[in-house]
Every structure is written in C-alpha cells, then in structure tokens.
Amino acid sequence: MDYRKRMESLVRELLRHQQLYHVLARPEIPDAEYDRLLDELLLLEKRFPQFAGANSPSRRVGSDLDNTFPERPHTVPVLSLNKLYQPQELGQWLLKTEAAAGCGVGFAIEEKIDGASIVLYYDQGELQYALTRGNGLLGNDVSDNVRTISQVPLRIAESSRLAVRGEIYIKRDDFERYNSGVAEKYVNPRNLAAGSLRNLKSVQTARVPLNIFVYEGFFANEFSRDHLEILQRLRELGFRVNPRLGFFCDDKGKRLRAQHLFPGISAAPVAAVEEYLRRQAASRADVPYDIDGLVVKVVELAVRQELGTTAHHPRWAMAYKFESPQARTLLLDVQIQVGRNGRVTPVALLKPVAISGSTVTRATLHNQDYIDMLELNVGDEVSISRRGDVIPAVEEVLEKSEQHPGIFQLPGSCPFCSTLLVKEGAHHFCKNQACPERRRRALNYFCAREQMDIETLGEKTIAFLFAKGWVQSIPDIYSFDYGLLAGQEGFREKKIVRIRAGVEASKSRPFVRVLAALGCEGVAAAVAADLIAHGFDDIDKIIAAAKKNDWEIFAAIEGIGETTARLLISHFSKPENLRLIDSLKTAGLKFVGEKTGGDMVNDSFAGQIWVITGSFVQFNPRALAAAAIEKRGGRVTENVSARTTHLLAGSHPGSKLAKAEKIGCKIIRENEFIALLGAL
Ligand SMILES: [Zn+2]
C-alpha cells in the first residue's frame, strides 16, 4: 500500500467532511465514520511523521508543545477604521463619499463583531500562516492555535496567493458555559477569544468554541473589481461569510445584482442607511454573539483605490459604533499588582481624565490576554468608559504610540519577590507563599470590612506593622503586643487603645465571617453562609469533608459549583492553612456557627442524586426544587455524571437533558415531580 497516497486521500476526505460539518452544517457521514477516518490518519501520521502536513486535519486537536508567536510582517494593508457614533454623522460621511466617488457607488454594511482580528495567508491552496492584527505592519504568528478552529479552511481550491481578514469570536452562550467551568473567569467573550489565540498550548485552544467570519479578501490574481464578488468567492472557497449583510446603492441594477449574489441581503437606496443603522443597533441583542457596531465599506475596488487612505485609516470605509467613548486619555504606565492568592493584575495608570463628574486615573487591565486583545502599550491614546457607571475600563486603543510599537508584556518575575511568574488560564501568578506582597494583601483581606471588619487595622496601619516586621502573618494580629507602638510616629496612646479594642472585638465575629476571612478562593461571605446553612456549621466538618476528596460533597449545595468545591478541598487540605486555623482557634476566634433548624420532611429521596435543569413554573427560583429534594434526603448536584440518578427537567433544558438521556438516568418533568412530592 502506498501510505503516502493513502494519507493524502484521508486528509482530503477529512477536510471535506470538516467543511461540511462545521461551515455548511450539512454532514454527509455519521460521526463514528468520521472518527474512524481520523483515527486511521492519526495512526499513519505516527508511523510516517515525515508525510504529515502542517494543514493535516489532525492539527484541529492541537498540541501539547509550547507555542511561540514570532512577529511577521503583513503583506496586505491591515488598517484600522475611523469611527463615528451618530447615524446622522454617518449619513454625512456617505454623502461626502458619494460626492467624491460619483453617484451610483455601492456601500456594503457588515456587522462589527467584538472578537479578535486575524489575517489568514494562503499560498498554493494551503494555509501558510495566521497573523494577529498587531500594529498593522507586524502581527504575531498564531497559526497553530488558528488551525484548531474547525471553521478555518486549512486547504482551499485557489492556487494563487490569497490573504483573508476575519474576526474570531465566541457566541455569548458558549462563553457563559466555558466561563462557568474555569476557575479564573474571563471578562467577556472578546477577551476569551483573544486570549485563546495566544494560548501557549494549542490543545487548550482546541477546547474553546471559537468561530470565524471573514470580511475581506486580497486575491493575487485580481479576478474581481468588487467587494461583494470577493465575499461570494470566499464563500465558495469554504470561508464563513456573515450573512447579515446590507447593500446600499442608488443604482438599481447594482442592487439587483447584489440580491442575486446574496439572496436575502437588505438592498436599498443610500437614503435608507440611517434607518438600517438604527434597526441593527436595536436588534443587536438578537444575534448570538456580541457586536459593537457596523462597518460601512465602498464595494467598488477602483473607487477604493481612488479614495485612498490616510496615514491610519482607509477613506473608503467607516465604522459606526453603537456606543460613544466617554473619554480619551493617555496610558502613562502599567502598574503590576500581586494579590493575596498570587494573581498578577496589571493596572493602567492614566493621565487624569474626567468622566461623568469624577476624575479617573487608574483602570484594571485584568491580565495579559486583555492587554493583548486591546493591543495596548504605554504611550497609547485610549478610550475610557465607566462600566455600569462605576468601574472605569480601557475600551480600546484610539491611536498607537509611535515610540512603543509593540504590546505591553507583563514582567517574567514577581516585582516583589523575583519569583518567576506562572501562567494559569488567563492569569499569571506568583507562586511564592512567602512573597511579602501576597502576605501583606492577605492581612488586608482578613481585616477588611467584608471579613473580620477590624476597622482600626486599615491598609496604612498594616503596611506600617508589616514593614516593621511586627505583624507578618494573620496569627501575629492576635499575638503582637500593640504596646510596642507607643512612641511611634502617628500612634498616640488613644489610637493604640482603639487598635487593641478592635482586635479584641474581632474575636466575637460570627463563624461566617471567620470562614470568609480564611481566604479560601471562591469562598466569600455568600458561599460561607451557604456552607453553614447546609450543615457545614463547624470548621472541623469542613476539614473532614475536604479530607474525603470528593468535590460532589460540596457541589451538592445549591450555589456551589464544581470549581468552588475543588477549591474548598484544596484549601482545607493544605497543612499551612490547617495550622492557621489551629492558631486562630487558640486566639479565641469562632469556628462553630449558630445551629440552623433542620427541617427534614422525610427520607424518601435518600440515596438519590438529582440534577436540575431548565426553568419551572412552580419552582422558581430552582433553589425551591433543590430544597424540596434535600428536605427528603436527596442530594442535588450541578452536573450530570455517572452517579446522577434523576434529572429534573423544566422547559428549555439544554445539554444536560441530552447527557442524562445518554447515561440513562430517570428524567422527571415538573408535573411528575409535584406528584412525587405530593404522594410522599
Ligand atoms: Zn511574589
């Protein structure tokens, strides 16, 4: 057998089926048949790695090897767009452009998807590499991660060189699902999409439900002089083109042609654009992904050529943004913060700017992924908003700095203890337990209002005590002789008395506060209260449960998911955390909660493990159904597993129902459930 030929034929077959499945949603063979072909290819690639191509469908599953993201120059123009915020302004721009280009010029209007920009480069029918936008001249090569996206064609039926611009994005519900399963939450779908492109291991990217829409094609053989024809050709080649497309032109013939190319396209005279913008803005929540505006483009390539570009933007295209920026300012520097759990947070230090009555000087940048997504660096002009009128956020780069062309990078090691930083999920961490900054922050957290509420030990006082070496860890708060403060600048007798009283008073704080103050990740006041209400009303019960190393014990509590359950086990198993608890017990803190009345109905559900999904009429919120099960001795867990015995399915049950059917557990509808409860 000619193995090389067989491999080549498998690659062709598999790529064709991937295209049918992921782009056209029209599979021709069952999944099992597809898996069989893929297994055969994987086996052959293992035996004959020399024949395994860069665009083999096996690349979809990603690799465990560390990626590097070398910079490469863009060979096609990747300019950013000028932006407008009012429909009337855009109307004026259309008039101006028509006046410059001549009446009868056509405008395409596409959705501006909130994702990560990408440029795909093809040659001789193969994907050569995929670059981020970068600064428009140089982008980062993220090919191996992009190859895992099933909707990106790895091979195309076009032998001449081709560059394709597109947007990689995540649907909102996919984002919610993905985010609920990871410990370190992503800020928004755009942040996750951009971060996924820069995962060190492509096997991680393969797990993220990424999508792509392409919106611009640069063919080496200039087969067309028109943007709509280019989109049509891209579609034929197997790229996903967003069908939500508008075409506005005063030439009726061109409108008819557009409708012929894209059946279903909104085609109308230019005067109808403003109305179209308003309608699209109003219906943005109806599409399953985030859009932050629309892009208006001249379709005739000759007109584009004629209009040309400014230094930064093409004159033939304009972005219409749904929301106006609140302020424009300069990024002066990035400060690196290290939290009590070691998480590194970059903070933007901004040239002071007024937004809705107050001055903003700082804004969190969350993590490296967020900075990468913004393609941000010191010296850039940025737009700032206040999300929900409270937290200031850097929304986008308006103008790149000339001096700092690249993207800001977090330092390789902790600025406070020089330990090498480690990346986990979207964040970097200082893993040094003894890191002075982490310890100082842990003290602040312990004393803060939401936890032990020791008002007299504010951040300043703690910083002073910490720097002196007097209070270095939480038990020191209770063992330090505050009398030693006498004579220190700013510590009069009266203040020392108040500090002593504050520390003493904290010993009578209820268990729920002590539990939150211990600093277990994911366990703030609300979760601490849930734990106590569900029988974990004594620290020893929590420690004993953690010892069993079964996360479902904690996840059985409504409001506690698998992630938090696992964090609880890990926190309450670590010797250093148990030592802290012991010394705080000795200091006299409360580690037992007030008893809550057990109101069991009976034990008719004993031994049953339930999962609840969908929405209900009688049991709204769902916690009511969970309570009904628990009062009868059953347990409620978050996810369907082999141990699940019952699934309570309401309307719109989602993927849990399919999973429950697969494993064959009992599926109970709301009326049956009511009957079950009533009969008992
Ligand atoms: Zn450190």
| Dihedral, 449, 451, 452, 454 alpha carbons, nearest 10 | -20
Q: How far is the CA of 432 from the centre of ligand 1 (A)?
A: 6
Collect all residues with Cβ–Cβ distance below 8 Å to 207 and sequence separation of at least 6.
Answer: 62
Predicted confidence at residue 299, as pLDDT, reads 95
Q: How far is the CA of 438 from the centre of ligand 1 (A)?
A: 7
d(CA 246, CA 265): 6
Q: How far is the CA of 437 from the centre of ligand 1 (A)?
A: 6
Write down the mean pLDDT value for the chain: 89
Q: How far is the CA of 340 from the centre of ligand 1 (A)?
A: 10
Question: What is the DSSP annotation of 570-595?
Answer: HHTT-HHHHHHHHHHHHHT---BPPP
Question: What is the DSSP annotation of 255-268?
Answer: HHHHHHHSTT-EEE
d(CA 156, CA 239): 9
Q: Among residues of the chain, what percentage have pLDDT more than 70?
A: 97
**More reliable by pLDDT, 560 or 432:** 432
d(CA 266, CA 109): 9
Residue 437 binned pLDDT confidence (cut-offs 50, 70, 90): very high
Q: How far is the CA of 481 from the centre of ligand 1 (A)?
A: 28
What would the CATH number be for the domain defined by 83-321? 3.30.470.30
What superfamily would CATH give domain 609-679?
BRCT domain (3.40.50.10190)
Domain 327-427 -> CATH class = mainly beta
pLDDT score of 389 more than 60: no
Q: What is the pTM of this model?
A: 0.65
Residue 596 binned pLDDT confidence (cut-offs 50, 70, 90): very low
Q: How far is the CA of 115 from the centre of ligand 1 (A)?
A: 33
Return the structure tokens found at 601.
Answer: 């109905």
Q: How far is the CA of 15 from the centre of ligand 1 (A)?
A: 47
pLDDT score of 624 more than 90: no
Collect all residues with Cβ–Cβ distance below 8 Å to 544 and sequence separation of at least 6.
Answer: none
**By C-alpha distance, which of 561, 556, 552, 549 is closest to 521?**
561
Q: How far is the CA of 342 from the centre of ligand 1 (A)?
A: 7
Count other C-beta atoms under 10 Å from residue 108's C-beta. Answer: 23
**By C-alpha distance, which of 625, 606, 636 is closest to 671?**
625
Topology given in CATH for the domain delimited by 3-60 = Helix Hairpins (1.10.287)
Give the pLDDT mean for 177-186. 81
Q: How far is the CA of 436 from the centre of ligand 1 (A)?
A: 7
Give the pLDDT mean for 61-81. 85
Q: How far is the CA of 412 from the centre of ligand 1 (A)?
A: 11
Q: How far is the CA of 344 from the centre of ligand 1 (A)?
A: 9
Q: How far is the CA of 403 from the centre of ligand 1 (A)?
A: 30
Q: How far is the CA of 292 from the centre of ligand 1 (A)?
A: 38
Residue 83 known to be catalytic: no
Residue 387 binned pLDDT confidence (cut-offs 50, 70, 90): low
Q: How far is the CA of 635 from the centre of ligand 1 (A)?
A: 41
- Would you say 394 and 346 are in contact if contact means Cβ atoms under 8 Å apart? no
Fill in the amino acid letter for 259. Answer: Q
Q: How far is the CA of 414 from the centre of ligand 1 (A)?
A: 5
**Which of 2-6, 140-144, 178-182, 538-542 shows the lowest mean pLDDT across its residues?**
178-182
- The pLDDT tens digits for 200-213 are 889 889 999 999 99
Q: How far is the CA of 366 from the centre of ligand 1 (A)?
A: 18
Q: Among residues of the chain, what percentage have pLDDT more than 90?
A: 53
DSSP class of 248: E
Q: From the options 1.10.150.20, 1.20.1630.10, 1.10.645.10, 1.10.10.10, give the CATH code of 511-587.
A: 1.10.150.20
Predicted confidence at residue 313, as pLDDT, reads 87
Residue 128 binned pLDDT confidence (cut-offs 50, 70, 90): very high
pLDDT score of 166 more than 70: yes
Return the structure tokens found at 60.
Answer: 């979809």
Query: Which residues, in sequence order, are bridge partners of residue 428?
Result: 423
Residues of the chain with CATH 2.40.50.140: 327-427
Q: How far is the CA of 564 from the centre of ligand 1 (A)?
A: 24
Give the pLDDT mean for 421-434. 92
CA angle 492, 495, 500 (to 5 degrees): 125
Q: How far is the CA of 647 from the centre of ligand 1 (A)?
A: 46
Q: How far is the CA of 580 from the centre of ligand 1 (A)?
A: 20
Predicted confidence at residue 198, as pLDDT, reads 87
In the three-class reduction of DSSP (H, G, I as helix; E, B as strand; rest coil), residue 64 is classed as coil
**More reliable by pLDDT, 520 or 632:** 520
Predicted confidence at residue 388, as pLDDT, reads 53
Q: How far is the CA of 440 from the centre of ligand 1 (A)?
A: 11
Question: What is the DSSP annotation of 183-230?
Answer: SS--SSHHHHHHHHHT-SBHHHHTTS--EEEEEEEEESS---SBHHHH
Return the structure tokens found at 254.
Answer: 């061109």
Which of 2-11, 391-400, 626-635 holds the top average pLDDT?
2-11
Phi (first) and psi of residue 677, to 5 degrees: -65, -40
Residue 101 binned pLDDT confidence (cut-offs 50, 70, 90): confident
Count other C-beta atoms under 10 Å from residue 469's C-beta. Answer: 8
Residues of the chain with CATH 3.40.50.10190: 609-679
- The pLDDT tens digits for 597-619 are 456 777 788 778 899 988 887 78
- The pLDDT tens digits for 269-320 are 999 998 999 899 888 888 999 998 999 999 999 999 999 988 778 999 999 9
**More reliable by pLDDT, 78 or 438:** 438
Predicted confidence at residue 249, as pLDDT, reads 94
pLDDT score of 146 more than 80: yes
Residues of the chain with CATH 3.30.470.30: 83-321
Choosing from 83, 112, 297, 321, the catalytic residue is: 112
Residue 420 binned pLDDT confidence (cut-offs 50, 70, 90): very high
- The pLDDT tens digits for 499-509 are 999 999 999 88
Residue 263 binned pLDDT confidence (cut-offs 50, 70, 90): confident
pLDDT score of 680 more than 70: no
Q: How far is the CA of 551 from the centre of ligand 1 (A)?
A: 30
Topology given in CATH for the domain delimited by 436-506 = DNA polymerase; domain 1 (1.10.150)
**Which of 107-111, 174-178, 186-190 shows the lowest mean pLDDT across its residues?**
186-190
pLDDT score of 622 more than 80: no
pLDDT score of 671 more than 90: no
Residues of the chain with CATH 1.10.287.610: 3-60
Q: How far is the CA of 457 from the centre of ligand 1 (A)?
A: 23
Predicted confidence at residue 597, as pLDDT, reads 43
Predicted confidence at residue 594, as pLDDT, reads 62
